[in-house]
Amino acid sequence: MVAPLKVGIAGLGTVGAEVARLIEQQGRMLSARSGRGVRVVAVTARSKVKKRGIDLRGIVWAKNPLALASDPEVDCFVELMGGSGEPALSAIEAALKSGKSVVTANKALIARHGLRLAKLAEKNGGALNFEAAVGAAIPVVKTLREGLAGTTVNRVYGILNGTCNYILTRMEQEGLSFAECLKDAQRLGYAEANPSFDVDGHDTAQKLAILASLAFGTKIAQSAIYVEGISSIKPEDLRAAAELGYRVKLLGVAVRTAKGIEQRVHPTMVPKSSSIAQVMGVTNAVTIDGDGIPPITLVGPGAGGAATASAVVADIADVARDIRALPFGRPAERLRETKKAPMERHEGGYYIRLMARDLAGTAATIATRLAEQKISIESIVQRHPDGVDANGMARKAAPVPVILITYATHEDAVHRALAAVQRDKVISGRPQVIRIEKN
């Protein structure tokens, strides 16, 4: 008989407790699928007395994560504490140095120290599995690392943050403001009290950094990603997008270009006909474009205790099967450096919303400035407000919304044209610009 895989779990929050519960409940199935038993033998967490709804009798309580990672009775160290630094980093390093395998859901740690940890895992023969770090139950890490090992990936992009997708969905469907939807997301537990990490795009950027490394064989470099959040999006942008056949999503995009790997996170208009446009609410999705295959879209719950725990247990099962895949699909020493691609060199279509002053020659001025930068317009919509107020009196001339969709052009050309339009004083306020991602 093969001895069972002995698991130690550091962190017994929502995910950690669910992992312990799953291993207990699914023990026979795990044994059948893995060819050996899987058993939690030790745990550690901040509070020993907190009620977690799991039976910890017969399980050793380690005094701290480092002690658990160094315990010779533990074969697989499962890190579910979170955070990009200590104590998670030292504990994982200790486990890998002792030849143990490590499973983690810690996207922040992998995005910051993944290369360093991958080298340790390769040197000492242990696995470093982190499927749950990106997209929770969506098996995108295994898809890129193993399922598409024989495919050249040209683009990977997706909805990687459920909080932002929920907010944009509510704004679109109910015509609510960003602030209203954010407040509701906080009430429902989808957004933190301080939501900036999610709504400003940084959570998506960490996940994209991991996906880009897997897809293109580059060293993880979160600093190489252009990041823009969703707080500037207005209900009128979502209405205009719908009328023009688009939907707005916060996307993380990594794409192979002639100038290198472009990595960016920002609100994006996607065609309603695309798979990614159909993904609503807190659901996540990732689309992969590769040579010789149609786009592959993976959709599922991107967060939550049960979804994340499912991915963690799947990684533990791989350890039990004695699978030792290279953490990033290639030897860490062969991962290439990547630099931040300047967004001004980005090429694509753009949605532009201007508040044009009701002055003679305004439209001609805007058209001239765009033409000077060789920007071609695919469509233009001008909305004329009702000319009378509630009392039947003529309104004073107010700025008129003008919405433009451009053909593919360079970002710096768009910025130069709009800067000139602002200097001409034919618009009020700042122009709204949203990039368009085609199928």
How far from 167 is each of 48, 133, 237, 267, CA to CA, in Å? Answer: 37, 22, 14, 12
**Within 353-431, where are the H helices?**
362-372, 411-423
Q: Of 130, 23, 13, which Cα lies nearest the Cα of 81? A: 13
Residue 100: exposure state from Cβ atoms within 10 A (0-12, 13-18, ≥19): buried
Q: Which residues pair with 12 in a beta bridge?
A: none
Q: Of 314, 255, 375, which Cα lies nearest the Cα of 135? A: 314
β-bridge pairing 283-290 and 293-301? antiparallel
- Residue found by looking up tokens 């799991």 in the block: 54
**Are residues 300 and 284 in contact, defined by beta-carbon separation less than 8 angstroms?**
yes
**371 Cβ contact partners less than 8 Å away, ≥ 6 residues apart:** none
Active site residue 207: yes
Residue 401: exposure state from Cβ atoms within 10 A (0-12, 13-18, ≥19): middle
What is the spatial distance between Cα 406 and Cα 103, in angstroms, rounded to a whole number? 46
Which candidate in 100, 107, 142, 207 is catalytic? 207
Q: Hey, is 343 helix, strand or coil?
A: helix
Q: Which residues pair with 257 in a beta bridge?
A: 260
Q: Of 157, 223, 161, 224, which Cα lies nearest the Cα of 196? A: 161
CB-side exposure of 175: number of CA atoms within 13 Å? 3
**Are residues 241 and 351 in contact, defined by beta-carbon separation less than 8 angstroms?**
yes
Q: CB neighbours (10 Å) of residue 186?
A: 15
Q: CB neighbours (10 Å) of residue 44?
A: 25
CA trace torsion 50, 56, 58, 61 (10° rounding): -50
What is the spatial distance between Cα 355 and Cα 367, in angstroms, rounded to a whole number? 14
Query: Which tokens is 359 given?
Result: 């002055």
Q: Which residues are catalytic?
A: 207
